[in-house]
Chains A and B, each alone.
Chain A
Amino acid sequence: MKDRSSIPEACIHCGTCVSVCPVEKVGGHAIVSLLTDPESTDHSAWLCTSCWRCQESCPMDVDIYGLMMERRRREKAPAGYQIAFDSILACGLALEVPQEELDQMRAVWGLEPIDLPPQGLARALLRTDRCAEADLTPPDSSAAPSE
């Protein structure tokens, strides 16, 4: 793997990223607009298709994708994203679908029934605290929490 720089200072504002961006081609302004114009105010980290062309083309190996994702995590999400994420937390899938409905659809196509993930599992997998810290704590520590 390349050693990518997440520091936008490495950016030389060459515009390669903008020239390959599918969002810029239809008049939207993605995170790449910030790189070519640091004063840009009308760009959005959410207007990205995750096609990775900017990152692949960057002559300075700037981690544009990482920069974009960091920004998203700090900003309010568009409704479409928020609804999908809430669904993932609740049922594990980006679109909530009843098991019965899914199996009926699959049966029509001659596909076997499928087990959906347990409710709430994704929320547990995405727990915000570190799980393994307990394992790294010395056995004699009185502060070691139990599972």
Chain B
Amino acid sequence: MTARSSLAFYPGCLVLQRMPEYELATRAVLSALGIELEIVQQAVCCGSPVAESFTADWIYLGAYNLALVERMGHDTVVTVCGGCTNTLTRAAQAMRDPGTRAEANCRLKPSALSVSGRVEVKHLVRLLIEREEELQARIVRPLSFRVAITNPCQAFRPGDVMNFDDPMEPQSLRRLVELTGAEVAEYGGEDECCGATLYLANPDLALAAGRRKLETTQTSNPDLLLHACGNCQLLLRRFQRLIVGDDLSLRRQALLLPQLVGLAMGLPEADIGLREGVWR
């Protein structure tokens, strides 16, 4: 039996407020692997892409969130969105500069917090692929789906900052899908952004990007789409009706990574945010 461990969890605004099933499924899968998640209380927005668009001081939002993780006594914080992973990692990197760190700590003083920048930010894809063997041993119900994946852009790029996998053609998510027994349905757009974050600036363009994604995935006729970012799931599943309108041929089920992994681990559907017998 694996020793149980505990890691900090930063869901980010979107998952916290709009996608509880993502948190639920992430907790269920990691718990089965012996990892409990302790949510970061009183966390603020990660800064992506909104605060960063208004001020170069957005890094102090990240510094605050990282300081909360340090106060919890954790060295690793788990993320499930590309944006949070990216900005928290860049904020941690910015803290290596003594002047920036001093400024951050000055701003954190009223909250009785301090930041050293030692916390490592890990997207769920990274956490799982680092435990590939343990995960493989827990696959009890191999799946037979054909799955069209979209890699979470910001968890991999910029490559020299994220330092994980191939930045332009990452393999980890693909490998995780294969571990579940499912087949990766190749459609050529695996490394192409879903376009969700365009929604804030121009909803029509975001929906056009979503439509392009759904049309491209169609070429490989997948059973379902697979996402590892709240933004992808928001656009391609929650907004799918807006995208496809009456064109039912474009409708596709879309799962989140821990839901797919959880199914293969034989976890009850209700525990991973799927309505039993209905979601298919």
Contact = CB atoms under 8 A, between A and B. Distances in A.
A27 B86 CA distance: 27
Interface string B3-34: 00000000001101110110110010000000
Contacts of B195: 22-23, 26, 49
B45 interface: yes
Given A47-B201, A114-B41, A85 B106 contact: no
Interface centre among A72, A84, A95, A125 (most CB of B within 10 A): A125
A90 to B, nearest CB: 11
A77 B53 contact: yes
Contacts of A122: 44-45, 51, 61
A80 B201 contact: yes
Interface string A17-33: 00000110111100000
B18 to A, nearest CB: 7
Interface residues of A, number: 62
Interface centre among A27, A93, A108, A134 (most CB of B within 10 A): A93
B168 interface: yes
B44 A93 contact: yes
Contact of A92 (B44, B108, B199): B44
Given A55-B157, A88-B50, A109-B20, A131 B107 contact: yes
A50 B111 contact: no
Given A102-B17, A124-B107, A77 B158 contact: no
B160 A72 contact: no
In terms of DSSP, what is the predominant structure of the interface of chain B?
helix
B91 to A, nearest CB: 11
Given A121-B111, A122-B45, A49 B54 contact: no
Contact of A84 (B18, B43, B157, B200): B200
B209 interface: yes
A90 B55 CA distance: 16
Contact of B212 (A25, A114, A116): A25
A100 interface: no
Contact of A85 (B51, B102, B109, B154): B51
8 contacts: A25-B192, A25-B209, A27-B205, A52-B157, A111-B27, A114-B39, A115-B41, A122-B45
Interface of B: 13-14, 16-18, 20-21, 23-24, 27, 39, 41-45, 48-58, 60-61, 63-64, 83, 86, 93, 99, 102-103, 105-111, 153-154, 157-161, 167-168, 191-203, 205, 208-209, 212, 273
